[in-house]
Amino acid sequence: MSELRVVFLGTSAGRPTPRRSVSAVYLQFGADSVLFDCGEGTQLQVLKAGVRISNLKAICITHFHGDHINGLPGFLGTVGLNGHRDRMVLAAPRGMDRYLAVLRELSILNPSFELDLVQNSVGMVYANEDYTIETTKLDHRVPAYGFIFRERDLVGRFDLQKAMEMGIEPGPVFGRLQRGETITLEDGRQVRPEDVLGPTRKGRSVAYITDTRPSATVVEAVAGVDILIHEATYLSGLRDQAMARKHSTVSEAAMVAREAGVKQLILTHISPKHTSGRDILREAKAIFPESYLAEDFSEFVLPVPE
């Protein structure tokens, strides 16, 4: 069963501080990994965090503000120098093709692997048999997209006791039943998967939503996710600034979490103006108790569904 782990590489808004680097979140699922945003210094944060990027399947860029993308050329260059050869999805708003063309033309970047570019789309940007990554539109000063990672639902747990009672001998038939096959025993009895498997288990899900005003579109898109990572640039006292710059306050992020019925909210993209984590958590928990504040290198693990 695959481990699902989220590691924050950068949690500051706009510019780095001595404690917080700019936006980047690493997600590991089994042997695969995915990177959300790539602010300046992300490659160094990857080294410091000790996370593995040899099996990176996708880089998902929310928007073209510098604090979300300025680390990309250096990061891709290093991935290439590390010997990466597999294709990789690069999801970003429209314009990424022009950006990459200029980087190539000026010899700033010449990746040794294929980038599958997915631009400006709402819908699926990556899918394999274990999980999918889809986008949702955000409400920011420039075109911006959030991303939702969803593990596909898992078959129910195998009920060994029940299988033995039905006279099924342990062996390859267990695997066939788990894969959904109906089998016929030697005495002619048929056993269906649902006879020996528990209920289907809901796959785990993680949403990455930054930068944005609180939005009904987002509430709908992230409904019920296990982890909602949402920007919370300002405390409520600076709501005017949040509105003018199209960001969310801590309270607004917490209200999105509550309305969407998510399991946990993790706040990130914190303005360098705010240095007290206590104030941020107090404001969030008053609305949504399962709130956490991301620090650089904070790690969250989602256990395999029961």
Residues designated as active site: 67
Q: Which residues have CB under 8 Å from 289's CB, separation 6+? A: none
In residues, how long is the chain? 306
User: Tokens for 183?
Assistant: 């089998």
In the complex, the smallest distance separating the C-beta of residue 245 from Zn ion, rounded to whole angstroms, is 8
In the complex, the smallest distance separating the C-beta of residue 295 from Zn ion, rounded to whole angstroms, is 17
- Residue (of 202, 204, 203, 222) closest to 212 by Cα position: 222
User: Tokens for 63?
Assistant: 């928007």
Cα–Cα dist 292/263, whole Å = 11
State the greatest distance between any 2 C-alpha atoms of the chain, in Å, as a whole number: 75
User: Tokens for 284?
Assistant: 């969030």
Burial of 303 (0-12, 13-18, 19+ CB in 10 A): exposed
Q: Which residues have CB under 8 Å from 216's CB, separation 6+? A: none
Q: Tokens 């998510």 correspond to what residue?
A: 262
Cα–Cα dist 22/271, whole Å = 10
Site of interaction with Zn ion (CB under 5 A) = 65, 67, 211
Residue nearest to Zn ion (CB): 65
Angstrom CA distances, 173 to 1, 34, 154, 159, 240, stand at: 20, 35, 19, 13, 63
The residue (of 16 and 177) whose beta carbon lies closer to Zn ion is: 16
The residue (of 40 and 211) whose beta carbon lies closer to Zn ion is: 211
